[in-house]
Structure 1
Amino acid sequence: MTGKEMAKTLGLDDPVLSKGSHTLFDDKDYDILKLMPKVKIPKFVAEYIEYCKRDIPHSPSRIGVGSAMQPEYMCVCMPDEIERWLTDNDQGTNAKHEELFARAWLDGYEIQQEEN
Structure 2
Amino acid sequence: MIKIYRKTATIKAEQFDGSDEMINKYHIEYDEAYTVPFRIEAIEGWIGVEGGDWIATGVHGEHWIIADVVFKQTYAELPVIPKEVADWIEKCKHDGTSVGDMLCSERRPEKMRDWMALTPGTYEFNQRKYKKHQELIARAWLDGFQMEEDK
TM-score (ref. length: structure 1): 0.57
**Can you list the C-alpha shifts for 1:19-59, whole angstroms capped at 9, x where unaligned?**
x69798xxxxxxxxx9432110001100000000005xxxx
Corresponding residue SS for 1:54: helix
- Given the alignment of the two structures, is residue 36 of structure 1 paired with residue 76 of structure 2, yes or no? yes
Max Rg structure: 2
1:68 to 91, 96, 102: 102
5+ unaligned residues in a row in structure 2: which ranges?
6-47, 50-63, 67-73, 120-125
Q: Within 1, Cα distance between the matches of 2:111 and 2:65? A: 46
Q: Within 1, Cα distance between the matches of 2:97 and 2:83? A: 19
Q: Within 1, Cα distance between the matches of 2:65 and 2:78? A: 24
How much is the aligned-residue C-alpha RMSD, in angstroms? Answer: 2.9
Identity of matched residues, %: 35
The alpha carbon displacement at 1:83 in A equals: 1.8
- Structure 2 counterpart of 1:30: none
Structure with the higher strand share, 1 or 2: 2
Higher relative contact order (CA 8 A, sep 6+): 1
TM-score (ref. length: structure 2): 0.45
5+ unaligned residues in a row in structure 1: which ranges?
7-19, 25-33, 56-61
1:54 to 94, 97, 104: 94
Q: Within 1, Cα distance between the matches of 2:92 and 2:112? A: 12
- Structure 1 counterpart of 2:113: 83
- Structure 1 counterpart of 2:53: none
Q: Within 1, Cα distance between the matches of 2:65 and 2:87? A: 39
Contact 1:69/1:86 (CA < 8 Å) preserved in 2? no
Instruction: Give the total of aligned pairs.
Output: 80
